[in-house]
């Protein structure tokens, strides 16, 4: 059995493999476990580095041992980094595959539903139905137009005869008005008054004559 088979709990030959959801969950658990292992190794590396610095001058042997352990931890940390990258890639691929599977399944479900909805439909029957609907709409429009058209009474009379009669009535009214105006010519006009209008006061002429006398008097005194 492979490592991934053990990891995902796969059975022997002919056994049913895990579902995509189960595999994704297992990969996430593995990522979490390896991440915690990384944090542990990083702490160990820091501790061994401190130990090596502390014993660098006092105990050279202890310092070298600490550096060797630090190197081993760093190697393990590098391996875990690579493993995590591989698991992340596999998990993302499984998630995409699972998403595509769900999308295709739902699309197939929708296609079946559409097929079932159209199963009892005949394109010829649809065309006939639409033609019937169009005819009924046209008939309804004709009925509406007929109802809304005003009903005319007396349409059998000739319009020219009616206009001629109207002209006669207008002429009779005009003649009547002229006769009424002609009857008012014998009405006596008011008499012209026999008394003459009063003359305008001569005040202005007296003032002019007085001014001339003053002018002559001033000329004589000047000589």
Whole-number mean pLDDT of the chain? 79
pLDDT digits (tens, 9 = 90+) for 25-39: 999 999 999 999 999
Question: Token pair 């929708």 is at which residue?
Answer: 110
Tokens encoding 211: 């001014």
Query: Whole-prediction pTM value?
Result: 0.43
pLDDT digits (tens, 9 = 90+) for 122-179: 788 888 888 889 999 998 988 888 887 766 555 566 777 878 888 888 888 888 888 8
Tokens encoding 199: 């003359």
What pLDDT, on a 0 to 100 scale, did the predictor assign at position 47?
Answer: 93
CB burial class (10 A; 0-12, 13-18, 19+) of residue 58? Answer: exposed
Domains defined for the chain, CATH in brackets: 20-117 (1.10.287.1060)
Beta-carbon-side half-sphere exposure of residue 25 (alpha carbons within 13 Å): 6
Res 78 pLDDT > 90? yes
- 3 pLDDT tier (thresholds 50, 70, 90): very low
Question: Token pair 């000329």 is at which residue?
Answer: 219
Angstrom distance (rounded) from CA 111 to CA 117: 10
What pLDDT, on a 0 to 100 scale, did the predictor assign at position 191?
Answer: 59
**More confident call, 79 vs 16:** 79
**More confident call, 199 vs 53:** 53
């Amino acid at each position: 059995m492979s490592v991934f088979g053990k990891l995902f709990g796969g059975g022997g030959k002919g056994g049913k493999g895990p579902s995509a959801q189960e595999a994704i969950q297992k990969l996430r658990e593995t990522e979490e476990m390896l991440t915690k292992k990384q944090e542990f190794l990083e702490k160990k590396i820091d501790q061994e580095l401190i130990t090596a610095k502390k014993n660098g001058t006092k105990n050279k042997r202890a310092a070298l041992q600490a550096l060797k352990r630090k190197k081993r931890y760093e190697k393990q940390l590098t391996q875990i980094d690579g493993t995590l990258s591989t698991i992340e890639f596999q998990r993302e691929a499984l998630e995409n595959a699972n998403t595509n599977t769900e999308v295709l399944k739902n699309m197939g479900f929708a296609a079946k539903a559409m097929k079932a909805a159209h199963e009892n439909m005949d394109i010829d029957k649809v065309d006939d139905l639409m033609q019937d609907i169009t005819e009924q709409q046209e008939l309804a429009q004709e009925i509406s137009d007929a109802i809304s058209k005003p009903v005319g009474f007396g349409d059998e009379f000739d319009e020219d005869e009616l206009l001629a009669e109207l002209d006669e009535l207008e002429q009779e009214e005009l003649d009547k008005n002229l006769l009424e105006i002609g009857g008012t010519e014998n009405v006596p006009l008011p008499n012209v008054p026999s008394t003459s209008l009063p003359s305008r006061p001569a005040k202005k002429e007296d003032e002019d004559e007085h001014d001339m006398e003053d002018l002559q008097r001033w000329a004589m005194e000047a000589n």
